[in-house]
Amino acid sequence: MHFSTVALIGRYQDSGLDTPLRELAAVLANANRKVLIEEETAVNTGVNEFPTASLDEIGSQADLVIVMGGDGTMLGVAREMAKYEVPLIGINHGRLGFITDIPIQNAQAAIQAVLGGQFTIESRSLLEGSVVRDGQTLTTALALNDVVLNRSGRSGMIEISVELDDEFMYKQRADGLIVATPTGSTAYSLSANGPILHPSVNAFLLVPVAPQTLSNRPIAIPNTGTLKLTLTEIGRAETGASVHFDMQTWSNLQLGDQIIVKKAQHQTRFLHPKGLSFFSTLRKKLHWNIMPSS
C-alpha cells in the first residue's frame, strides 16, 4: 500500500488540535503524499493550507484516513468510511483511546513507519441495526461498538424478548441490553461485566444491564445470525425506551417495537504500526501487566 492520498480528520472541538494536525500534515507532504483535510476540521481548527474534502469525497479519494481525537471521533468516522473500505489510523487526542491507540506524542514517528510499510492491518465487524414497528422499518444505522436497548431516564425496567434466527432465546427484565461487537467488548459492555473478545473472534455479545435476576448472564453468539429484540414491557409506558447505535440515540420506542441486529455488509479496517497489538493495548489501558501488591 503506497497511500498516495492521505486524509486527516480531527476532533475539532479540542483546543490545541491545530498544531499537531499541521505537524502531521507536514510529515505527509514531505513524504510526497497528497494531503486532504476534512472540511469541518479545517474550518474549526484553521488548518486550511491544504485541500479540504467532505467525508464522501475522502471516502472516494483517500487511500488512508488518519483520525486525531478520541474513540468517539473514530466511531463516527468508521461508520462513515465503512462502505468505502478505506483503512483508518487512530491518534489519541482523547482520554482512554482503545481504537485511537497511537499516543499523540508518537504520532509523527508512527505515521512515518506506516508510510515505510511497517504496519499491520486488521478488519473489524460492524453491526447494522433497524427499528421495526408494525412491519415498517423506521430507521437503520451502523455501529462499530454496540447497539443498546435501554429504558428511558424516568422509566422502570423494560422487558425484552430475544430471538436468534427466529429461535426464542429468553425474555429478560433489566435496565437494558447491550449487543456488542468484539471492538465494543472493551466499551460499555465491559463496564456491564461483559467479557473481552479478541477482534478476530466471529461473535457478538449479549450483555444485560442491571438485570432483575442474577441468572441473566452475558452470552457470545455467532455473528452470522440475525437478532430480534422485541420490547414486550416498559416500566412506565408514557416515558418509553430508547435504542442507541454507538451512542447515536433513537428515542420513543413503543411496546411491540423490534430491534433487528445483524452483521453489517462492510467492515472497518484499522492500521497499526508494528509493535502495537490488541494485547499490548489491553496491558497498557487495563493494566494487565500490573500484579497486586502484597
Of residues 224 and 17, more confidence is placed in 224
Is the domain of 9 the same as that of 87? yes
Is the domain of 97 the same as that of 31? yes
What 3-state class would DSSP assign to 61? helix
Is the domain of 108 the same as that of 135? no
122 found inside a domain: no
What's the number of CA atoms in the CB half-sphere (13 Å) around residue 93?
A: 22
**pTM of the predicted model as reported, rounded to 2 decimal places:** 0.92
Whether residue 115 has pLDDT greater than 90: yes
Is the domain of 162 the same as that of 103? no
Is the domain of 101 the same as that of 179? no
Is the domain of 133 the same as that of 249? yes
Distance, C-alpha 110 to centroid of its chain? 22
Among 187, 185, 203, CA closest to 195: 185
Q: How confident is the model at residue 238 (pLDDT cuts 50, 70, 90)?
A: low
At 175-224, the pLDDT tens digits run 999 999 999 999 999 999 999 999 999 999 999 999 998 888 999 999 99
Among 113, 92, 105, 108, CA closest to 285: 92
Q: d(Cα 74, Cα 66) in Å, to the nearest integer?
A: 9
Is the domain of 78 the same as that of 187? no
35 found inside a domain: yes
277 found inside a domain: no
Is the domain of 256 the same as that of 159? yes
Mean pLDDT of 143-162: 89
Return the pLDDT at 240: 73
Is the domain of 190 the same as that of 244? yes
Return the pLDDT at 273: 86
Domain interval for residue 25: 5-117
163 found inside a domain: yes
Q: d(Cα 127, Cα 261) in Å, to the nearest integer?
A: 7
Q: How confident is the model at residue 251 (pLDDT cuts 50, 70, 90)?
A: confident
Is the domain of 70 the same as that of 185? no
Range in 62-66, 184-188, 277-281 the model is least confident about: 277-281
The CATH number that applies at residue 240 is: 2.60.200.30
Domain end point (choices 88, 117, 146): 117
282 found inside a domain: no
How many domains would you assign to the chain? 2
The CATH number that applies at residue 61 is: 3.40.50.10330
Q: How confident is the model at residue 263 (pLDDT cuts 50, 70, 90)?
A: very high
DSSP conformation letters of 119-183: EEEEEEEEEEEEEEETTEEEEEEEESSEEEEEE-TT---EEEEEEETTEEEEEEEEEEEEEE-TG
Domain end point (choices 117, 138, 169): 117
Among 125, 140, 135, 126, CA closest to 250: 140
Is the domain of 111 the same as that of 150? no
Cβ contact 119:83 at 8 Å: no
Is the domain of 54 the same as that of 164? no
Polymer length of the chain: 294
Active site positions, annotated: 71
Range in 5-9, 219-223, 286-290 the model is least confident about: 286-290
